[in-house]
Amino acid sequence: MQQARATLIEHPFDMVVFGGRGDLAKRKLIPALFHLDVEDRLPPDGRIIAVSRAKLARDPFRQQMHDSCADCDFEHFNKDAWDKFADRLDYIASDASHKEDYGALKEALAGRDEVVRVFYLATAPDLFVPIAENLSAAGLITPLTRLVLEKPIGHDLESAHAINAAIGRCLAEHQIFRIDHYLGKETVQNLMVLRFANGLFEPLWNRTHIDHVQITVAETVGVGGRWAYYDKAGAIRDMVQNHMLQLLCLVTMEPPVTLDADAVRDEKLKVLRSLAPIRGADTAHLTVRGQYRAGAADGKPVPGYLQEPDAKEASDTETFVAIKAGVQNWRWAGVPFYLRSGKRLQGRTSEIVVQFRAPPYALYPESAGAIHPNQLVMRLQPNEGIRLLMLSKQRGPGDLRLRQTALDLSFKEAFGGRSPDAYERLLLDVIRGRPTLFMRVDEVEEAWRWIEPILEGWDREGVTPKPYIAGSWGPSASVALIERDGRTWHEEES
């Protein structure tokens, strides 16, 4: 029998999840904490307190979380493990927006000021500031407090700055953890290792050897029951401003002096400040907006964006966006970065594709049709791993023929076992007070500073979403965006 893994956290903690009965808590946070407990990564004295408006007793709440965890990972679910974990769970019915409604929480945390105290705001963004201010007014913020904010932080630069400033009056910057779950994915972590720990790639990681980079985050699902939220955000606010720009930073950043949190985030900030601005008329030919129409997903008919439940009759919100970006610095001058993200696309995949330049001379002209530039494909989901696409000779006698083949590193096959969810790593880092994988205030605002002129350009230039059929790879204009440069989107079966 395999021995239990040593506990990685020794200090006791209290994690208070505002929005504790919401979709994020049920699908991600509680299952992640359950897995950490199963793997003996949490200390015995670690409590999880859910806060929500609904009048609910502790036992019915535990049953709801039991059902969620069982649905999320039935293979690793068993009664003994759940009973042990359930002892950590508590529930408080409270309206977090009301200052006078914090008595029960204050009582639950009494006498534990020396315990790491995590407040996770799995709520609508308009509650971020009221909750932080109410926690401060109730005297619940201690030197060991961490506050976790989910995206989006604001809907533009002004609102993001206002939220950050208000929360900054309640807590110090090192206590604020702005989470982006993409930074907790195994492939994203391996991206830095691949770049900075392997002599094979480090010398090639520049404009001399790399032709272009593609970053794709594609979803087969629609907006579902989140129409009201999504219609205020759209694909550029929901995905590009945070997830995709963070991936772009990790691909292009200079090596940090150390792996210290601020050293890493300083380098990411330099990338954001080096992004070529896209504004005015440039938005019409450097970006593409799309909105899905009725089509099919997994062989079944699905409605269009405007036919989803709770949808309005008309909306110009984009459910797809593609952008041709540039990084104006010595390493990347002239290298295009193609970003695209959308809902109701043909496949579910998140990946980074680095395409290298072709050899300077065609030594095998008879195989010209088979000559493909080398590509490094880093798959974030599904089937996490890294593939190096290269040319090799086909087997057999006769004329020499080349074909594209892959050196394939599947994390599942290489390391075995269950692949931890990104939230597991990030929740551990919050409890331990390690902010490297979280966004600093200046990163968030610099990202908005680049995104905002695109939004303004769309309005001024009348750049409206182009329709695309659900189950396709987006509007044809996104194909034209990259193919007019003589390049092609990387698409393969998941």
Enzyme catalytic residues: 243
Within a 10 A sphere around the Cβ of 407, how many other Cβ atoms? 11
Strands ordered across the beta sheet of 46-52: 89-93, 46-52, 13-18, 116-121, 145-149, 176-178
Bridge partners, residue 385, by sequence = 379, 410
d(CA 111, CA 319): 48
Element (H, E) at 232: helix 227-235
Three-state DSSP class for 120? strand
Q: CA of 262: how far to CAs of 76, 160, 177, in Å?
A: 37, 21, 13
Cis peptide before 277 (omega within 30 of 0): no
One-letter identity of residue 330: W
Given the structure tokens 């579902």, which residue do they identify?
A: 224
Compute the C-alpha angle 294/300/303, nearest 5°: 25
d(CA 246, CA 436): 12
One-letter identity of residue 135: L
Contacts of 80 (CB under 8 A, 6+ apart): none
Strand 13-18 and strand 295-297: the pairing is unpaired
Q: Are 319 and 356 in contact (CB under 8 A)?
A: no
Given the structure tokens 């506990």, which residue do they identify?
A: 7
d(CA 341, CA 232): 17
Structure tokens given for 113: 């000021």
d(CA 36, CA 28): 12
Return the axis-axis angle of helices 30-38 and 422-432, rounded to nearest 10°. 80
Buried b (16+ CB within 10 A) or exposed e, 477-494: bbeebbeeeebebbeeee
d(CA 440, CA 436): 9
Compute the C-alpha angle 233/280/458, nearest 5°: 30
